[in-house]
Amino acid sequence: MSRILIAEDEPRIASFLEKGFKASGFTTSVVSNGDEAIFMACSGDFDLLILDIGIPGKNGWVVLAELRGQGQLLPVIILTARDSIKDKVNGLEGGADDYVTKPFKFEELLARVRLRLRNRQPKDEDQMLLSLGDIVLDLRTRQVRVGNHSIELSAKEFALTETFMRYPGQVLTRQQLLSHAWGYDYDPYTNIVDVYVGYLRKKLGDKRIETVRGMGYRLRS
């Protein structure tokens, strides 16, 4: 499941974007100033950044310059009311992958997001498969196999399994699992991770996911 960071200080627009992307199967997080945008974008936890130029603190131009100056390759789509040719050229030459002006149609923005994410995906088919023991995840078809059996997973179950598979043998805290599969803005005190781990144990096998007391969970081969 792709994770989108939204840097937008207008609550109405931020809420509109968040609801739209979540309804389209993405995990989202929203920040409202430039410093937060840089910190979160550099975390490695996101696949794309929607960046408003007019955010407070470090504005979008500064955010983009600092990200590219640090060698960050995270795709960036600028979303702004600034519609001059000069601004568009500055944005694209400054390292943005796309430039969308407000007002905008969400369907068009969504199509642009999907294009940038598709271009970022590895072309090698082997890189689209995650495996641990006899568990195989196909990131392209969103299918899971355990041995010779195909397992049906919901979108969140798949996202949680993908997170485990990307960190084989590592103990992952509930907060790490929550942020990867549900987003940073989710209630940190929720028990939803434990609930979904229970679902996965029923589908993948009771002993597949080990509880490490006081720390979190680990996927075993």
- Tens of pLDDT, residues 196-216: 999 999 999 988 999 999 899
Query: What pLDDT, on a 0 to 100 scale, did the predictor assign at position 26?
Result: 92
The CA-based angle 45-47-53, given to 5 degrees, is 100
**pLDDT (0 to 100) of residue 221:** 75
Any idea what DSSP says for residue 32?
A: -
Question: Which contacts of 162-168 are long-range, i.e. CB under 8 A and separated by 24 or more positions?
Answer: 162/1, 162/130, 162/137, 164/209, 164/217, 164/218, 164/219, 165/130, 165/131, 165/132, 165/135, 165/137, 165/219, 166/130, 168/132, 168/219, 168/221
- Predicted structure pTM score: 0.60
Q: What value does the mean pLDDT of the chain take? A: 88
What is the Cα–Cα distance from 118 to 140, expressed in whole angstroms?
10
**Mean pLDDT, residues 146-168 taken together:** 88
Residue 123 has pLDDT above 60, yes or no: no
Answer yes or no: is pLDDT of 61 > 90.
yes
Residue in 152, 183, 170, 155 with CA at minimum distance from that of residue 217: 170
Instruction: Name the strand (E) or helix (H) holding 131.
Output: strand 129-132
Give the residue-averaged pLDDT of 40-46.
87
Whether the upstream peptide bond of residue 75 has omega within 30° of 0, thus cis, is: no
- Name the token pair of 2: 């792709």
| DSSP 8-state assignment for residue 172 | B
**CA distances for 84 relative to 4, 9, 15, 54, 101, angstroms:** 26, 21, 26, 15, 10
Type and span of the H or E element at 216: strand 216-219
